[in-house]
Structure formats: C-alpha cells, structure tokens
C-alpha cells in the first residue's frame, strides 16, 4: 500500500507528538514538584519548642528570599513554592513532616532542615526515596560521606573544622590552658567534643572537665558550677541557644571569667547574648564564615547593603545582624545556584548531581576568600572560617581566614 506525502507527514507528526508526550510523561514521573511554571520545595524547622528562635530566623529569611526571587521572575522561568513545616526540633516529628512533604505535597527536594538528630532520623527514608536534602543546618562530619549518605548535604562548616579552629586558638593563646567543655548530650554535641579532642591530639589532656545536658533540662546551672570547680580557665560552650545563654549568665553570676568560646550556631546576639546580659558576654569568641553586617568594616559593602535592603523590604520583622538570618540568606543562594545549574532537567538525580558540582561559588555575604566547592566525593560546601569576638555590641572578626 502506498501513502502520499501528506499522509506520511501526518504519520511522522503524530509519531513525534507521541514520542514527545512519552518523554514528558517519563520526565514528569521523575520530576515531582515540578510544573511548567513552578518548583515545589520543602523544609522542616522548629517553629515551636526550645529551638524556635532558629525556626523564626531560618524559615523567615528563606520564605522572604524565595518571595523576592519569585517577584524577580523565578528560576529559569519557574516560581519557587516553599512549604516550611514545624517539627519542634523533635526527630519523630521531623520524620512525620518530611513524609508529608514527600508523599502528600510531592516536593522536589528538602532544603535547610535544622539539626543533626532530626536529619539523622530522616536519612534512611530520604535515601530510599532518593529525595535530595540540601544545605541542612547540621555540622556533623558524617554528612561528608557520600557513599553512606548520598542524598544529604550540609550547608555549614563541619563540627571537626570548627573545633579544630578553637583548638588551635586556645593552644596558641595559652599552651597551658585548662579547658572545660559544656555540650548537648546528643550526636550534635558529642560530634563537636570528639572533633575538639581529635584536633588537640596528644594535648587532649588540656580538657580537665566535661559536662553534658539534655534538651529538656530547665537549666545548666549545676553543669557550669561543676566546670568552674574543675579549675578550668577556658570554657568551650557547645550548647544550643537557650542553654548557651544560661551558661553565659551563670558564669557571670559565679564571678567566673574564663576565656569563653561559643559554637557558631549560638553566637546570636538577640537570642543568646541579650538574655544572658550583653555585659556578661563581652569577650566571647566564636567563628564566622560570613560577613557580619553590624561590623563597621562592611558598612559600604555593596553585598551587605543589598542584603539589608532585602531584609527591610521582605523580612522587616527580623534582625538583619543575626547570624541565623545571614546564614539562611547564604544557603538560599546555594539552593538558587543548584536550581539554576539544573536548568530544565529538574529530576531529583540531576538536582543532586548539580549540588555535588558547585565550583568556586561566591556567596554574597561570604568572607573574602571563602568559596563554595563540592564534588561527588566532597559534600562540604563550606571549609573556611575566621574567628570573631563580641565587643559588647556586635561580633568583630579577627585574624586570618582559616581552613582548607
């Protein structure tokens, strides 16, 4: 049987349309949360409970950031829909909310979830579902094990890298220092303690006392009293916001004035230092890998001015000088970069591939010299930081950028 040219053309066109629809259907099955005009992403944060200040800052800034991006036209022509749910910093609740995001909301990915214990609780589930969990607020070293945790990537300086900076600083300042350590009795706190001991190496005997606390503990007064009684002249405070603040205040009440180091996540003026008393917080040391907006040296910095303008317009209820907001702004830029690199291939596999292929990305509020780099065998975007000291008003960076 012969077919004329028009008939052949019609068959070819129909075949092309069928093939195109098949490809789109296949992509659609592999691109949950994605339409021609939108990309749906999800996160869980503690909007209630003892860590609610983190939720307020991280979630508030993230929501504001993607509203700004949408107002500017979105990413590659698609608007971002961020669904942010409360997990109260409770691992069982995090599992419940993440399942909701994946199975009911059908998000493309999870982004910026807070906590080591919470992310540990979901890792088997998201690995099985092959859902990217990107730029989480957890410094645990284990997240840099792509062979074991291929679908989770941190957005923070690792606990071992941060602890190593403190170990070097203390030893350089006082080789005979006597260190007392306060830490949260969970994987988060123990990770920092192990990192500190590893960094001190054969000088780990400088640690003369350790005191842990539980999330539900009403205070850490007894722990601080015990650490002071040990004769420690240096206090390294690996505590979350509420308990970190209590430790600062109790040390002042006891008349104890050690060199006081607070881990970066609790170097928060309004949520930690103000409740403890700013006068009690003078001299506290921590680390930063971002520009401190309150530092006068960045007053005329264009990136800082742009950030302040963003916060004033989109998140006026938040304090732009707080580290949590600065951190959230920067990891949002990391998320944006991954989505840009992914182009129209928004399959979960490609999104994870792009997250593991960030090359010398310069974040707007990163300190000069700090660049984001990842690879399939390196899941740590941030590897450098600088020490900072509280002067009674704000944290002021000092020294050189440290790290790899």
Q: What is the pLDDT of residues 79-98, one digit of tens each?
A: 999 999 999 999 999 999 99
Nearest to 324 by CA among 269, 260, 245: 269
The pLDDT value given to residue 270: 85
What is residue 25's predicted lDDT score, i.e. its pLDDT?
Answer: 37
Q: What is the pLDDT of residue 20?
A: 35
What is the mean pLDDT, run by run of 10 residues, along the chain of 404 residues?
44 38 42 96 95 93 98 97 97 98 98 94 96 95 94 94 95 97 93 96 98 95 98 97 96 98 91 95 95 89 97 97 92 98 97 97 92 95 93 90 80
Integer Cα distance of 44 and 344 in angstroms: 26
Centroid of chain to Cα 69: 20
Beta bridge partners of 99: none
Find residue 236's DSSP bridge partners.
181, 261
Question: Both ends of the chain: CA-CA distance in Å?
Answer: 72
pTM: 0.80
* In contact, 230 and 206? CB cutoff 8 Å: no
CA-based nearest residue to 290, from 385, 362, 156, 400: 385
| Confidence at residue 296, expressed as pLDDT on a 0 to 100 scale | 87
């Amino acid at each position: 049987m012969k077919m004329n040219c028009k008939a052949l053309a019609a068959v070819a066109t129909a075949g092309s349309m069928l093939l195109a629809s098949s490809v789109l259907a296949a992509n659609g099955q592999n691109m949950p949360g994605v339409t021609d005009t939108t990309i749906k992403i999800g996160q869980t944060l503690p909007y209630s409970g003892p860590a609610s200040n983190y939720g307020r800052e991280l979630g508030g800034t993230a929501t504001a950031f993607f509203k700004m991006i949408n107002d500017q036209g979105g990413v590659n022509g698609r608007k971002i829909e961020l669904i942010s749910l409360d997990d109260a910093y409770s691992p069982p609740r995090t599992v419940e909310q993440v399942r909701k995001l994946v199975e009911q909301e059908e998000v493309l990915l999870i982004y910026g979830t807070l906590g080591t214990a919470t992310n540990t609780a979901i890792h088997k589930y998201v690995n099985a579902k092959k859902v990217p969990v990107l730029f989480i607020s957890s410094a645990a070293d284990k997240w840099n094990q792509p062979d074991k945790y291929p679908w989770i990537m941190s957005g923070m300086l690792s606990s071992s890298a941060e602890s190593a900076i403190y170990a070097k600083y203390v030893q350089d300042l006082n080789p005979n220092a006597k260190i007392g350590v306060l830490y949260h009795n969970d994987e988060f706190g123990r990770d920092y303690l192990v990192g500190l001991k590893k960094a001190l190496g054969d000088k780990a005997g400088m640690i003369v006392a350790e005191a842990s606390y539980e999330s539900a503990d009403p205070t850490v007064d007894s722990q601080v009293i015990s650490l002071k009684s040990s004769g420690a002249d240096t206090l390294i405070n690996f505590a979350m916001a509420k308990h970190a603040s209590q430790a600062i205040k109790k040390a002042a009440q006891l008349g104890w004035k050690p060199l006081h180091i607070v881990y970066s996540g609790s170097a928060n003026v309004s949520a930690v230092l103000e409740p403890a008393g700013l006068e009690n917080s003078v001299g506290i040391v921590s680390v930063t890998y971002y520009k401190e907006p309150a530092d006068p040296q960045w007053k005329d910095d264009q990136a800082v001015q742009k950030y302040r303008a963003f916060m004033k317009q989109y998140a006026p209820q938040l304090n732009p000088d707080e580290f949590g907001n600065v951190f959230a702004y920067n990891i949002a830029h990391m998320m944006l970069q991954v989505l840009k690199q992914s182009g129209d291939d928004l399959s979960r596999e490609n999104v994870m591939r792009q997250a593991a292929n960030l090359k010398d990305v310069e974040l707007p509020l990163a300190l000069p010299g700090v660049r984001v780099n990842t690879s399939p065998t390196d899941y740590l975007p941030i590897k450098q930081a600088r020490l900072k000291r509280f002067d009674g008003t704000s944290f002021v960076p000092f020294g050189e950028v440290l790290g790899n």
